Structure formats: structure tokens, C-alpha cells
Amino acid sequence: MKPRSFEYLRPASVDEAVEALARYGDDARILAGGQSLIPMLNFRLLEPLALVDIRHIADLSHIRLDGDMLEVGAAVTQNRLLSWPDLARHVPLLAIAMPWVGHFQTRNRGTVCGSIAHADPSSEIPLSLAMLGGEVVLQSPRGRRVLKADEFQTGMLSTAREADEMIVAVRFPTGSGKAAFREVARRHGDYAIVAVGAVSLSPSEILVGIGGAADRPVVRRYASNGGDLMSEIEALAWELETYEDLHASQRMRRDLVRRLAPAVISELRS
Amino acid sequence: MIEQKPKQRVTLTLNGRKVTGDAEPRLLLTDFIRHTLGATGTHVGCEHGVCGCCTVIIDGVAARSCLAFAVQMDGATIETVESLADEDGRMNALQEAFRRHHALQCGFCTSGILMSFTDFLRRNPEPSRDEVVDVLCGHLCRCTGYANIVDAVMDVVEAHAPPQRDIGAV
Ligand code: FES
Ligand code: FES
């Protein structure tokens, strides 16, 4: 499987990159790590006229603490963030969720922001961003804007990004509590069928996030010591829309939520 | 209608040697390495990032060469399985361990697996067995059942042998 012909552009700056996007509109795609994009090109699920390679743009390669946010530039690979020594201290959820992102070999090239841009409903990084209430920084020739995670991801593989906008960075709130994360996939590292994360917000409150059970991440807050937490989770599992694909039926997804979520919550409590 | 884009000149360092070729933008790195540069040790299985056969080391990190374009590689340093044995064809410690442990049968997946562990062991010379299994998850092998591959890698880890000949590339 070979991709269709396209124009390859390697802009030297974000300004040049967004100019190219403005010129091509929907016919251009940003190429960063390419670990989600290139399979789609090889399958010809996407046939853009131009690819705009942003890997070499210097001001996109930062990992930086900024107030109570951790900002990650669009050229930062998943393995680079994962090996950032302070990750577990500042964003514990990411530190435990990211080893589940793809494989060692794809994390070496795949970017953090690329995973956000791809917006797969079962992906770990968009799920973490949604759970923590993070932000996506977009730039276009018209300027910059910042969207909350839930404003950005609008559905299955779809986002609020305009055709002339690119993600320049993503911001994860720091200082969240202990976290737990698990998922089920056909093979470790393949796309999750269902992924579940939990974060303790305070001694009495937890956050539960579910990927792969709706067209985008589902995030709920619960009282952590309420005796009926497990029945609330059970109710949520039946409430979720879920979807069917090659890997799992709707019912299987529901059952995975019913089994994974209690396991993750008890891991959080342990 | 097949529309061709003009070819671009790509110069990169392959296994310590500077090489040049021309590539249309859509040419995958796998095809560039195999067909344009003629280094056929790198194999192609799925061409969509699932099997790991095509794994090479790009600028110091193992990655799937079917998920990269040749034109992105101008100025890059690439290592393939051909870099592992020395000039006289003597295999390195990792390759020797694969042979000893019968960690390959048809060998189709092997070059990719060797390159993944070449990168991984450089960065983590003393991994646990679980960590080795985790890296191996990025590969499919239809012959061995994986256990012998893990044994071979662990053998190298335990012997503390340097996993590769240093070609001074990274
Ligand atoms: S050929 Fe590249 S991963 Fe299968
Ligand atoms: S040895 Fe045959 S596929 Fe691995």
C-alpha cells in the first residue's frame, strides 16, 4: 500500500506552516511523527494534496512548566515526554498512561500533540487531557486561540481545529493526585478497545475517565467513599453509548468498562 | 490518472556512509532503503506500522521505516541490520545470542527486532524481562512463539556484553 502523490513542504517556522495550511485548506495535513497519519495515507483513507512537516521547527520542541500547567510543544515525541524526569511528579496520570501509547518503536517518533490531533476515542493522551481538563493551543494566520480539551475534541476522529490552524502545544494541568490506568487491547500497544483512568482529586473525590466507550472520552466525578460508587459505575457502563468495530461489539465494550473501572478504582485506593 | 511529483534529492548517512538518492515525496523510507539504496536487510511486512519488520534506527531511535517518508530523511543518520556484523561478517553479541537461542526460524521479522533491541539496550543496558517483552510487543513473529527471542535478549543483558559494535553514528 502506497500513499497517493502529495506535495512535501518543510516550513522553517510556525508562521510559514500556517500560511501553507491557509493556502491548501482542507487539502493539507500536518505531518509530525506520522504514526497515525502515515498508516491512513498508506491505506489511502486520506489523500491530501500537501503534507506540512513540522518536526524541524525549533520552537515546537519544548517541555516546559508554565504556572500550574505543563506545556508540551507539537514536535515533542511521546517517548521524550515519557522520559522527562519530572513527569511522574507533575502529571502522575500521564506518567502511568503513556507507556500504553502505541509501542516503544512508535512512541519514538509519534508526538504528544499528534495523538491529540488524531482524536481517536480510545487514545490514552486525549483521555488524559480530557480527565485533567487540559488545553490545546492552536495557531493560524489569524492568531492564536486556546481551547479546553472538551471544546477541542468534538467526536470520533474530529476536532474543532479549523483548516488553517495547527496545534502548536498542549497544556496539562499539574499537581493532580494519585492516578491509576488500565486498558484492554488485542496486543499491548495496539489501539485500546477500552481504556480507563482514575485520579484522586481530594480525599473524598475521584475522577474516572473512560476511552473507547463513546465517540470521545467520558469523564465523571464521584465521591470516593460513597458506598455505592461501584453501582454508579455499573449504571454508567449501561448508560454509555459505546460503538462496534472490528475489535469489539458494543456489549463487549460495556462489559470491559464494567470490569476495568472497578479494578482501576481499587488500584487507586490501594 | 497518476500524477507524479518531482523527485527530491535526499542525502543521508546509512550505516556510517554518506549516500544520496532521489525520491518522490510519497516514497516510503522502506522502499528508499531497499530499492533506491539497495540495502535489502530491512524487510517489509504490513506497510502500516503493525508488524515491526521494517524497524530501523533513525537519528538514534528505533522506528518503523514504513511510517516515514524518504524526503523527511535528508540529513538523517540511519542504521539498519547491515550495520550489526563487522566487516568480516562476524555477528555481534545480540545476533550471536539469537543464533544460539534459536530466536529465529524464517528470519523475516529478525532484522527489525534486532534494530529495536539495539536501540533499547543502548538506552537501557539492564532491563527486566518484562521490559524486554514490552519492547517485543512492537513486533510480530509468526515462527518462534517469542520465548526464544526474549531468552536471547536476556542472555545479552546478563552477559553485560555491549549489544552492538559502535559505528560512531549516534
Ligand atoms: S512493514 Fe512497517 S510495521 Fe509492518
Ligand atoms: S522468524 Fe519467521 S517471522 Fe519471526
pLDDT bracket for residue A179 (50, 70, 90) = very high
Rounded distance between C-alpha atoms, residue B14 and residue B38, angstroms:
11
Contact A106 B134 (CB under 8 A): no
Are B58 and B17 part of one and the same domain?
yes
pLDDT for position B4: 82
Specify the ligand 2 atom closest to the Cα of B113: 4
In a domain, B169, yes or no: no
Domain closes at, from B83, B110, B132 = B83
pLDDT for position B13: 98
In a domain, B25, yes or no: yes
User: Which of these, B50, B51, B36, B67, lies nearest to A41 by C-alpha position?
Assistant: B67
pLDDT for position B162: 54
- Percent above pLDDT 90 for chain B: 90
pLDDT bracket for residue B141 (50, 70, 90) = very high
What distances in angstroms separate CA B135 from CA A6, A189, A252, B61, B67, one per listed residue? 33, 10, 28, 13, 18
User: What is the total count of domains within chain B?
Assistant: 2
Q: Are B23 and B10 contacting, i.e. CB atoms less than 8 angstroms apart? A: yes
pLDDT for position A228: 87
Summarised one tens digit per residue, pLDDT across range A79-132 is 999 999 999 999 999 999 999 999 999 999 999 999 999 999 999 999 999 999
B129-136 vs B147-159: helix crossing angle, rounded to 10? 130
Please, what is the average pLDDT of chain B? 93
Q: Mark A11-41 as b/e (b = at least 16 C-beta within 10 Å).
A: beebeebbbbbbebeeebbbbbbbbbbbbbb
pLDDT bracket for residue A203 (50, 70, 90) = confident
Does any ligand 1 atom lie closer than 6 A to the CB of residue B66? yes
Are B101 and B142 part of one and the same domain?
yes
- Three-state SS for B5? coil
Are B99 and B126 part of one and the same domain?
yes
Contact B63 A5 (CB under 8 A): no
Mean of pLDDT values over A216-226: 89
Are B79 and B108 part of one and the same domain?
no
pLDDT for position B42: 98
Task: Give me the residues paired with residue B61 across strands.
Answer: B58
The structure's pTM equals 0.94
Does any ligand 2 atom lie closer than 6 A to the CB of residue B105? yes
- Classify residue A250 as exposed, middle or buried by CB count within 10 Å of its CB (0-12, 13-18, 19+): middle
- Identity of the residue numbered A40: M
Contact A104 B116 (CB under 8 A): yes
Using the predicted structure, report yes or no on whether residue B169 has a pLDDT greater than 50.
Answer: no
Q: Are A136 and A147 contacting, i.e. CB atoms less than 8 angstroms apart? A: yes
Q: Which ligand is nearest to the CA of B66?
A: 1
In a domain, B23, yes or no: yes
Longest Cα–Cα distance of chain A, Å, equals: 59
Distance A201 CA to ligand 1 centre (A): 41
pLDDT for position A113: 98
The conformational region for residue A121 under phi > 0 = left, psi -120 to 50 = alpha, else beta, is alpha
In a domain, B136, yes or no: yes
Q: Which residue of A has its CA nearest to B54?
A: A105
Rounded distance between C-alpha atoms, residue A182 and residue A215, angstroms:
19
Are B65 and B14 part of one and the same domain?
yes
- Three-state SS for B13? strand
Are B48 and B70 part of one and the same domain?
yes
Mean of pLDDT values over B106-115: 98
In a domain, B37, yes or no: yes
Chain B residue numbers touching A28 (CB-CB < 8 A)? none
- Percent above pLDDT 70 for chain A: 100
Are B69 and B100 part of one and the same domain?
no
Q: Which residue of A has its CA nearest to B76?
A: A56
In a domain, B168, yes or no: no
Using the predicted structure, report yes or no on whether residue A199 has a pLDDT greater than 80.
Answer: yes
Q: What is the ipTM of this complex?
A: 0.93
Domain closes at, from B83, B113, B137 = B83
Specify the ligand 1 atom closest to the Cα of B64: 2
Domain closes at, from B18, B51, B83 = B83
Specify the ligand 1 atom closest to the Cα of B44: 1
CATH number of the domain encompassing residue B137: 1.10.150.120
Lowest-pLDDT choice from A64-68, A115-119, A227-231, B88-92: A227-231
Domains of chain A: 7-53 (3.30.43.10), 58-173 (3.30.465.10), 179-269 (3.30.390.50)
Are B67 and B102 part of one and the same domain?
no
Are B12 and B73 part of one and the same domain?
yes
User: Which of these, A141, A149, A146, lies nearest to A123 by C-alpha position?
Assistant: A149
pLDDT for position B164: 55
Distance B105 CA to ligand 2 centre (A): 5
Does any ligand 1 atom lie closer than 6 A to the CB of residue B44? yes
| Domain span including residue B34 | 8-83
Summarised one tens digit per residue, pLDDT across range B40-74 is 999 999 999 999 999 999 999 999 999 999 999 99
In a domain, B165, yes or no: no
Mean of pLDDT values over A130-147: 98
Are B15 and B72 part of one and the same domain?
yes
Contact A5 B26 (CB under 8 A): yes
Q: What is the DSSP string of A4-33?
A: PP-EEE--SSHHHHHHHHHHHGGGEEEESS
CATH number of the domain encompassing residue B38: 3.10.20.30
Alpha helices in chain B (DSSP H): 29-31, 93-100, 110-123, 129-136, 147-159
Contact B138 A105 (CB under 8 A): yes
Mean of pLDDT values over A146-171: 96
Please, what is the average pLDDT of chain A? 95
Summarised one tens digit per residue, pLDDT across range A23-63 is 999 999 999 999 999 999 999 999 999 999 999 999 999 99
pLDDT for position A187: 83
